[in-house]
């Protein structure tokens, strides 16, 4: 796997599912939106969502499972909580459209895995086990949450502003590192 952070502002993201897996992905997407992430388009298919998912959907869903043609122009597709036959059919249809696909708990039908995530403003910390054990990734996420409290968001914002000034003053790469390290040593949380 290649770890990357993607700009999804011009992408069509499709979420398909009715249960806990779809709820988990929707919560991740909603968290991104809450901190100001820009998603080109989000399309959600859920024909029989469980109550917690239904409550999160707030009428944003299309109330049927997609057919092959519904995946036209999809860039990223999340599939969760469907049987193997449905998942495979939708995976193949999405791949035909050139989409990156993640089928929950089915590594052989995944172009990517979603790591356990800790957000501290613009600071994004992740843990991944390449799909081998989501529970291990979750355990590591808890450790990251404790090690990097919310104050890291403010510290990162401060360092970001200082760095802009240093660059404007003409500091080179090594000087930027030294000054950043000095702040981290001084303002360690």
What digits encode the pLDDT tens for the residues 16-74? 999 999 999 999 999 888 887 888 999 999 999 999 999 999 989 999 999 888 999 99
> Cα–Cα distances in Å, from 146 out to 27, 62, 149, 152?
21, 38, 6, 11
d(CA 64, CA 180): 51
* Annotation: CATH topology of 12-114: Rossmann fold (3.40.50)
- Locate the domains of the chain by residue range: 12-114, 151-186
The model's pTM:
0.84
């Amino acid at each position: 796997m290649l770890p990357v952070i993607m700009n999804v502002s011009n992408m069509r993201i499709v979420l398909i599912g009715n249960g806990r897996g779809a709820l988990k992905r929707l919560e991740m997407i909603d968290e991104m939106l809450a901190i100001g992430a820009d998603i080109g388009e989000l399309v959600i298919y859920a024909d029989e969502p469980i109550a917690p998912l239904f409550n999160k959907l707030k009428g944003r869903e299309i109330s049927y499972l997609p057919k092959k043609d519904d995946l036209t122009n999809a860039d990223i597709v999340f599939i969760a909580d469907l049987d193997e036959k449905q998942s495979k059919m939708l995976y193949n249809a999405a791949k035909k459209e050139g989409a990156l696909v993640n089928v929950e708990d089915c590594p052989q039908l995944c172009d990517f895995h979603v790591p356990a995530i800790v957000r501290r403003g613009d600071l994004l910390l992740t843990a991944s086990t390449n799909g081998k054990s989501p529970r291990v990734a979750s355990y590591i996420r808890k450790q990251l949450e404790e090690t990097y409290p919310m104050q890291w968001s403010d510290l990162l914002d401060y360092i970001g502003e200082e760095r802009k000034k240093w660059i404007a003053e003409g500091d080179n790469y090594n000087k930027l590192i030294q000054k950043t390290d000095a702040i981290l040593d001084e303002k360690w949380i």
